[in-house]
Structure 1
Amino acid sequence: MWASWWFWPLVAVCIADQFRDTAERIMQSTPVIDGHNDLPWQLLKLFNNQLQDPRANLTSLAHTHTNIPKLRAGFVGAQFWSAYTPCDTQNKDAVKRTLEQIDVIHRMCWLYPETFLCVTNSTGIRQAFREGKVASLVGVEGGHSIDSSLGVLRALYHLGMRYLTLTHSCNTPWADNWLVDTGVDEARSQGLSLFGQKQTGSLVMVNFYSDYVSCRAEANLSQVADHLDHIKKVAGAGAVGLGGDYDGVSRLPSGLKDVSKYPDLAAELLRRQWTEAEVKGVLADNLLRVFEAVEQASSHTQAPGEEPIPLGQLEASCRTSYGYSGAPSLHLQPGTLLASLALLVLCLCRL
């Protein structure tokens, strides 16, 4: 019995290695689809989007959560890159800034064709999986990026955008942001229209920001897994997805310091007796299911919405009024814009 003090720790290590080995085996055929990564924002801040600067080389980029070796080590097979611009661009140059961030995503694919494949649909994601590349898609972070214009929304769609978050940390003329709930910001739209209410069959993509995970500056991988467990309990394993927010947050849980650590999270789920099918769902299959369902339901035959949001609902300090003076009555309500968003964007929260 005296030898048991070292025996059980050794067993625990062996079991941990077994879960990690199983996770890597699963991820070789079902790599991660991550719903949110802000590497393009870092490329703007650090290099003003000059990707040919030797320091910006994505094979050796330092001091970021994301580079090509880390993506490979993390078995990341598809990434929604965030085209993000801060809220202080609203009513100013938000559209220009968003276009520049979409451009830098496209240039990443052009500069590193052996690694990135820019795609716009689920078929493209599966193609990238087969070719061993990282499927690269565009997500736009914050409704302020479209400047309350359906025309801008449609243009961004044609440039490859496949989701738009309704708000970031500022209200738009048609949706309130999360700070309203904290009392820091005032409600303008009283939340959302009926379009904003939750329905079954959608996906919750878990953010890794430590403050969101634990309500403190420190968090750990186990607490992230607790969130996944909770979503599974409430909505089912098919509702769980990943949206790490790497390179968009300042604090990350221990054990998930960069994109290379996804296998450790998959191993933790296996340790918690998630089935292999459930883990594959979290990694990729749940998102592909939702994405494919949206593609099947989307209609590109319906005439586009044309009536603009009333000029009086927009802040006009840096805005011209072309088109408004000669137009008939304009009574577009916020709910109309939101309904149009549902029709025009392959929103990942769709059934």
Structure 2
Amino acid sequence: MKYFIFIFLIMASCKQSSEKNSETYKTIHNRAIVIDTHNDILMKVLEDGVKFDDDLTGITHSDLDRWKRGGLDVQVFSVYCDGTAKNAYDYANRQIDWLDAVVNRNPSKIMKVFNASELLSAVKTGKIAAIIGVEGGHMIENDLDKLDSLYQRGARYLTLTHNTSADWVSSCVDQTERPEIPKGLTDFGKAVIKRMNNLGMLVDVSHAGEQSFWDAINTSTKPVFASHSSVYSLCPHPRNLKDDQIKAIAKKGGVIQINFNPGFVDASFEKKEQDFLEKHKTEHDSLMASLQDEWLVKFQLYKTYADEAEPIRPPLFKVIDHIDYIVNLVGADYVGIGSDFDGITLTPKELDDVTAYPNITRALVERGYSEADIDKILGENFIRVLKANENN
């Protein structure tokens, strides 16, 4: 009898501890300023005709009401088009037009902000603070006046390059696959960074080739950041940052925002994905013939064969491992969240959509992070870097 009483007391204690932990992470999450520095919903808006002030559950990772349910306070909207697209600047402005339209239709829910002070004001009133990040230097079309114009419309970071190199900066993809192209920043590229510093626009090194990265670090007089990248030492993907790059960003006073892309957080994912695609090769090839877009084909196949896709999704702890790694390497002041929701074909487990942000906080609590450090990771680090780039 004593044995059973002992077991009962242990179980009761564990349940109470679990309930207390649940309340703790929810309290921390609801109190913190939660910021995601990279979401591609505007691409879905323009290409698929969706409206993110509608309920898009089951269609996209994001919409206005689900952001609130996930406790998100600040969303940086990626303005993106493929690096080979014509009229990229016009495309960027059309996406910003769509964002402005949603803000204008929903003044009680979302507010477009231009600096850290406005961001904090929006959060204080319970509105989602909307910021713009332009993903790819090709969208300024080699024209500093167009960079100025995008800044005036609210762009507060420029990702120097996407997968396809711009004329003035080389990408990590081209650095890996096209060794014949020039590497790094041209003189015009360095002029772009100097103009960004003068404007108060953050230099984003996600997607940049290694030489471009170091040129940016050495050219910028302000803290730089990576809007949606992860750790190369844990997952050796060319899009991820090596230890010396992480240390350089930290030394510069910047921040690395962890990407949720399974291929960037789990070193075993690439092989699993290859096996999945090989199994459905006939359908894959047929879809490629009609859609001619690898991203869309993968997205469709994962949706069609959801039961098969589920086992290859990385567990949540893989994402947290990347946060841990950066904290252990350089400290809790230099890491945050840049999910890439609506820009990735598959998400990690427990991160199905934007309602899942609290699971990040829960996992950080379970790993013993202090409330102060959790606040930094969820949003304060990005606010610090935003302020440091502003010209007062």
| TM-score, scaled to structure 1 | 0.76
Instruction: Please state if 1:115 is matched with 2:116.
Output: no
Which position in structure 2 is the counterpart of 1:265? Answer: 360
* One of 73, 80, 99 as aligned partner of 2:76: 80
Matched-pair contact (CA < 8 Å) for 2:88–2:141: yes
Which position in structure 1 is the counterpart of 2:25? Answer: 23
Matched-pair contact (CA < 8 Å) for 2:53–2:102: no
Identity of aligned residues (%): 29
Matched-pair contact (CA < 8 Å) for 1:20–1:263: no
What is the root-mean-square deviation of aligned Cα atoms in Å? 2.2
Amino acid at match of 1:292: K
Amino acid at match of 1:268: A
Instruction: Please state if 1:140 is matched with 2:142.
Output: no
Q: Partner of 1:34: helix, strand, or coil?
A: strand
Amino acid at match of 2:73: G
Note closer, same or farther for the CA distance 1:149–1:13 as it changes in structure 2 (3 Å cut): farther
Q: Deviation digits for residues 162-190 of structure 1, max 9, x if unmatched?
A: 00001111111221111134335643234
Which position in structure 1 is the counterpart of 2:387? Answer: 292
In structure 1, distance between residues paired with 2:19 and 2:65:
22
* One of 241, 244, 248 as aligned partner of 2:336: 241
* One of 219, 225, 241 as aligned partner of 2:320: 225
Instruction: Compare the two structures and name the one with the higher helix fraction.
Output: 2
Instruction: Map residues 1-351 of structure 1 onto 2, 5 A cutoff.
Output: 1=3, 12=14, 14-47=16-49, 51=51, 57-59=53-55, 62-89=58-85, 92-183=86-177, 186-190=180-184, 191-192=211-212, 194-197=215-218, 198-199=248-249, 200=251, 201-215=253-267, 216=269, 217=273, 218-295=313-390, 298=391
Which position in structure 1 is the counterpart of 2:202? Answer: none
Q: Deviation digits for residues 53-97 of structure 1, max 9, x if unmatched?
A: xxx6424554211122321121100110111111221xx211111
Note closer, same or farther for the CA distance 1:141–1:129 as it changes in structure 2 (3 Å cut): same
Matched-pair contact (CA < 8 Å) for 1:203–1:240: yes
Note closer, same or farther for the CA distance 1:114–1:46 as it changes in structure 2 (3 Å cut): same
Amino acid at match of 1:214: D
Q: Partner of 1:174: helix, strand, or coil?
A: coil
Which position in structure 1 is the counterpart of 2:236? Answer: none
Note closer, same or farther for the CA distance 1:228–1:7 as it changes in structure 2 (3 Å cut): farther
Q: Partner of 2:373: helix, strand, or coil?
A: helix
Note closer, same or farther for the CA distance 1:76–1:286 as it changes in structure 2 (3 Å cut): same
In structure 2, distance between residues paired with 1:186 and 1:132:
51
Amino acid at match of 1:132: G
In structure 2, distance between residues paired with 1:143 and 1:155:
14
Aligned residue pairs total 289
Post-superposition, which runs of at least 4 consecutive aligned residues in structure 1 deviate over 3 A?
1-17, 59-62, 184-187, 196-199
Residues 249-258 or 14-23, more deviating: 14-23
In structure 1, distance between residues paired with 2:59 and 2:72:
19
| TM-score, scaled to structure 2 | 0.69
Which structure's relative contact order is higher, taking Cα pairs within 8 Å and 6+ residues apart?
1
Q: Partner of 1:36: helix, strand, or coil?
A: strand
In structure 1, distance between residues paired with 2:132 and 2:153:
9
Gap runs ≥5 in structure 2: 185-210, 219-247, 274-312
In structure 1, distance between residues paired with 2:7 and 2:84:
59
Q: Partner of 2:328: helix, strand, or coil?
A: helix
Q: Partner of 2:84: helix, strand, or coil?
A: helix
In structure 2, distance between residues paired with 1:221 and 1:81:
23
Amino acid at match of 2:75: Q
Amino acid at match of 1:254: K
Matched-pair contact (CA < 8 Å) for 1:173–1:188: no
* Distance apart, 1:4 and its partner CA: 7.1
Note closer, same or farther for the CA distance 1:15–1:39 as it changes in structure 2 (3 Å cut): farther
Matched-pair contact (CA < 8 Å) for 2:89–2:139: yes
In structure 2, distance between residues paired with 1:7 and 1:180:
60
In structure 2, distance between residues paired with 1:181 and 1:159:
32
Note closer, same or farther for the CA distance 1:4–1:102 as it changes in structure 2 (3 Å cut): farther
